[in-house]
Amino acid sequence: MQWLTKWFRSDVDSVQTQRLFQSLLTLAWTVEAKDPYTGGHLWRVSQFASAVAQAEQWSKEERAIATLGGFLHDLGKVSVPDAILKKTDKLTDDEFAIIQSHPNEGLYILEGHPLGPIVRNAVGLHHERVDGQGYPNKLSDEAIPPEAKLIAICDAFDAMTSHRPYRQAMPKQKAINIVEENLGSQFDVSLGQRFVSLAKAGEFDAIIAHTDEGIPLHHCPTCGPTITRYRDDAPGQLLHCPLCLQQAKLVKTKNAYHLEPTGVQIPASKQRRKPDTSLIKRVIQETISTIPTQALLERAEGSR
């Protein structure tokens, strides 16, 4: 890996650097396209993690690792069958075992990527619990790296405040209460307290149920807030609900966007959208401009 560090040392902010980061984040969007209930999940978890890391006064490098880890933590779900991800009934033991395999599957996908070591902990350990009852390794307390502990909280909170196949999104305060009730068992006490403090102060209100800064999920008349709008979508853009597959047209009235049903139901084979490349590029550019890129590359090399 010395060739990698030497290559970037000459021009840390090069186009090659952006492409390397982009290749990593684009991997994650395969999960967003696969699971219709997680629209914006990666962005939200990433934003929660970044905000907590900043409040905890983590270094720029540590904050970058948490931010990138938030985007990539669910990478392994690409190997989980659609029928399991979308199942509305209780999972069987065998199906839950498949779900539990996704952290290790994510590590397999990262294997060989130059930046893989930077987000390995977030991808492979975000379902560990401080009481040792998590998966896949049943690690506890200090054996769990800080970024994995942080992603665990952010991931669970977003799952609770988002629609899922088996339930509707719960109110923010209820989700906060559940996090508080599980401090010291499921969640790290110190990081959890910081997360709860920020949530109660309203610091996450512009993230919850959003898919990008200032862009909330749109409501499908049938399924609730499940329709994702990209920042580059212009009025007249045809969008659709990934659950009931009903099509809707994006309309702008004054300064507000809303959707008008077209009455068309699209085939399931055409429901997936391409990755939001403009969002990916923007996150990468912001990340590269604010972090010690060289330090991350050296960390990736040193951990191999």
pLDDT of residue 11: 45
pLDDT of residue 48: 97
pLDDT of residue 115: 81
pLDDT of residue 47: 94
Residue of 34, 77, 149, 172 with catalytic role: 77
Q: In the annotation, is 6 catalytic?
A: no
DSSP, residue by residue, the chain: -HHHHHHHHT-TTSHHHHHHHHHHHHHHHHHHHH-GGGTTHHHHHHHHHHHHHHHTT--HHHHHHHHHHHHHTTGGGGGS-HHHHT--SPPPHHHHHHHHTHHHHHHHHHTT-TTHHHHHHHHHHTT--TTS--SSS---GGGS-HHHHHHHHHHHHHHHTS-BTTBPPPPHHHHHHHHHHTBTTTB-HHHHHHHHHHHHTTTTTTTTTEEETTEEPEEETTTEEEE---TTPPTT-EEE-TTT-EEEEEEEETTEEEEEEEEEE--GGG-PPPP-HHHHHHHHHHHHHHS-HHHHHHHHHHT-
pLDDT of residue 249: 92
List the pLDDT tens digit at each of the 304 positions of the chain: 343 344 344 444 456 766 777 777 777 777 766 665 667 888 899 999 999 999 999 998 899 899 889 989 999 988 888 888 877 788 999 999 999 999 999 999 888 888 888 899 999 999 999 999 999 999 999 999 999 999 999 999 999 998 776 678 899 999 999 999 999 999 999 999 999 999 999 999 999 999 888 888 888 877 777 788 888 899 999 988 877 788 899 999 888 888 998 989 888 666 667 777 777 777 767 766 666 666 666 666 666 6
pLDDT of residue 223: 74
